[in-house]
């Protein structure tokens, strides 16, 4: 499903990085490209940051501990510390496939789709030595990287999810809501003009992060209809901090006013949570 994607100037990017050295949560939720050397800096095992645990295929207890720490930070959207923890896990066990999978999710959060795809491919290459459950997670991540709004055949996508996910398992993601102002604007502007319009609204947006939109599974009703009774749809609309105002103060204020006044059903983003019955 779609993730929003952008690069910051070095001076702007360095300020949250400096804070993150002292406070792991200082850059929580911050979006934008980060230098690899920052994401790969050593990090100690920490206490009282969460209780996530997912058994992974490794003979190294510290690799497991760092992987769990990475999950804790990942679940809190603390991208930098999550990346550092997953890299520490890989230093203990270079063959730990799910650490690469965690990095793939981090890179998506940091709006680096090429790195997210590359990390997924490394996880996939190591899948032969992982458990069957881990291989299913890797396969599901591959499907997740194919954004729902890019899919011409929702029935195929639902079929793949049903094939991969066991009863009780989840499909989770994020996608622009069809009724939100982002999707409305995207449908008003022809696909061939998206790049020029987004370049004006978001000057730092990368060329590879502009793509045709289809909006076939981008409403609660469409998702429920496509997945059917075999899946429980627990998705909901959200109002994230999205900047589509460019340098226009008027557009920025208009976004704030709309966010304050509009009902939740017109929120621009859907968090998608589907549980297979």
The average confidence (pLDDT) of the chain is 78
| Model pLDDT, residue 21 | 36
Q: How many percent of the chain have pLDDT more than 70?
A: 71
> Is the per-residue pLDDT at 238 higher than 60?
yes
Average pLDDT in the 43-66 region?
Answer: 95
Domains of the chain: 1-145 (1.25.40.10), 148-277 (no CATH)
* HEC secondary structure over the chain: CCCCCCCCCHHHHHHHHHHHHHCCCCCCCCCCCCCHHHHCCCCCCCCCCCCCCCCCCCCCHHHHHHHHHHHHHHHCCCHHHHHHHHHHHHHHCCCCHHHHHHHHHHHHHCCCHHHHHHHHHHHHHCHHHCCHHHHHHHHHHHHHHCCHHHCCCHHHHHHHHHHHCCCCCEEEEEEECCCCHHHHHHHHCCHHHHHHHHHHHCCCCCHHHCCCCCCCCCCHHHHHHHHHHHEEECCEEECCCCCCCCCCHHHHHHHHHHHHHCCHHHCCEEEEEEEEC
Q: What is the pTM of this model?
A: 0.54
| Model pLDDT, residue 244 | 56
């Amino acid at each position: 499903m779609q993730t929003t994607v952008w690069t910051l100037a070095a001076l702007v990017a360095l300020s949250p990085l400096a804070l993150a050295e002292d406070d792991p949560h200082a850059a929580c939720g911050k979006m934008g490209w980060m230098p690899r050397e920052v994401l790969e800096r050593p990090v100690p095992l920490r206490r009282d940051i969460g209780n996530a645990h997912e058994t992974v295929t490794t003979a190294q207890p510290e690799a497991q501990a760092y992987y769990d720490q990475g999950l804790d930070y990942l679940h809190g959207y603390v991208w930098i510390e999550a990346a550092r923890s997953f890299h520490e896990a890989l230093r203990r066990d270079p063959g730990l496939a799910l650490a690469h999978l965690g990095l793939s999710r981090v890179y998506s959060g940091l709006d680096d789709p090429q790195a997210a795809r590359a990390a997924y491919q490394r996880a996939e290459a190591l899948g032969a030595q992982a458990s069957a459950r881990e291989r299913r997670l890797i396969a599901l991540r591959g499907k997740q990287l194919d954004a729902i709004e890019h899919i011409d055949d929702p029935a195929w996508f639902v079929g793949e999810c049903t094939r991969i996910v066991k009863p009780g398992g989840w499909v989770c993601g994020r996608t622009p809501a069809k009724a939100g102002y982002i999707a409305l604007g995207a449908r008003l502007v022809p696909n061939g003009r998206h790049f020029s319009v987004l370049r004006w609204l978001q000057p730092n947006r990368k060329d590879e992060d502009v793509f045709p939109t289809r909006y076939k599974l981008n409403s609660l009703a469409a998702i429920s209809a496509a997945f059917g009774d075999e899946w429980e749809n627990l998705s909901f609309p959200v109002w994230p901090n999205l900047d589509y105002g460019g340098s226009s103060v008027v557009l920025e204020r208009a976004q704030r006013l709309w966010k304050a006044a509009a009902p939740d059903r017109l929120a621009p983003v859907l968090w998608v949570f589907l549980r297979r019955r």
